[in-house]
Amino acid sequence: MSAHVLRIGQALASLAVFVVAWKLLTVLTGTPAYILPAPEVVAERGARAIGSGLLWDHAAATVVEVILGFAAGATAGVLVGVALGKSMLVERVLSPYIVAAQAVPILALAPLLDIWFGGGLLARVLVCALIVFFPIAIATMVGVRSADPLLREMLRSLGATPGQVTRRLEIPSALPVIFGGLRVGVTLSVIGAVVAEWVSASIGLGVLINIADQGLFDTPLMFVALAALAIIGLAFYGLVVLVERRLVQSA
C-alpha cells in the first residue's frame, strides 16, 4: 500500500470517528437540533443548500476573495520580506509600522477599510491581504537571512550583483521557510474573508453564517457553511503543500 493511499485511509478513518462521536454526543445528551444538530441533519440541510444553489453562490464569492486576497498578501509579503531580510535599515524603518498594523485586530480595521474603499470586493480583498501579509513577510525575512553567508560571500567575490545573489542563493535557500509562512497565510486568508464579509457584504459564507444565525436560527445551515469554510481552507492548504513539494524538491 502506497503512502498516499495510507494517508487518505487515515484521514477517512479519523473523519468517520469524528462523525460517530458527534452522533453519539447528540444521542446521549439529547441536545435539540437548534443547538447541536446531528450529522444526518446537517448532511440533509447541506444537500438542500447545494441543490438550490445557495451554497454554491456564497462559497464562490468567498473563494474569489480568498484567492485574490492571498495572492495580493503573499506577493507583498514576499517582496517586503526580501527587503527586510537584505537591509537592516529597511527593517528598522518598516518593522514598527508592520508590527503595529499586525497588533491592531483585523476586525477593528475592517470597518475602516470598508469606509475607505466603498465596501466592495476591493475592501474585502484588502482585509484578506492584510491578515496574510505579516506571517509571510516575517517568514521570508527569516529565510533570506538564513542563507549560507559563505556562499553569499563567494557569489559576491565572483562579481554577482545583489539581485543575482537574491535570485540564485537567498530565495532558493529560503523557500522552505517561505512556504511555512504561506501555509499559515493561506488559512488566515479564509478567516480574513469571513471577517470582511461580516463587516459589509451581501454574499459569501460569512454572510450565510450571519443569516443562518440571526435571521433564520438555522443551526444546520450554519454547520454547512462552517464545513464549507473548512473544506476551502483544507483545499488551499493542500495546494500550497503541493506547490511547495514541487518547488523545494527542484530548488
Sign of CA dihedral 168, 169, 173, 178: negative
25-41 per-position pLDDT tens digit: 988 888 888 888 999 99
* Domains parsed from the chain with CATH numbers: 42-250 (1.10.3720.10)
Q: Is the pLDDT of residue 11 over 90?
A: no
What pLDDT, on a 0 to 100 scale, did the predictor assign at position 1?
Answer: 52
Average pLDDT across the chain, whole number: 88
Verdict on whether the full-model pTM lies above 0.85: yes
User: 57: pLDDT confidence band, cut at 50, 70 and 90?
Assistant: very high
Sign of CA dihedral 54, 58, 64, 67: negative
113-169 per-position pLDDT tens digit: 888 887 788 999 999 999 999 999 999 999 998 888 888 788 888 777 887 888 888
Alpha helices in 30-105 (DSSP H): 39-52, 54-86, 88-103
Least confident of 53-67, 90-104, 174-188: 90-104
- What separation in angstroms does the CA of 37 have from each of 19, 21, 40? 12, 13, 8
Q: How many residues does the chain have?
A: 251
Sign of CA dihedral 242, 246, 249, 251: negative
User: Among residues 188, 195, 162, 167, which one has the least CA distance to residue 240?
Assistant: 188
Tell me how many degrees the CA angle 197-209-70 measures, rounded to the nearest 5. Answer: 40
Q: Is the pLDDT of residue 251 over 70?
A: no
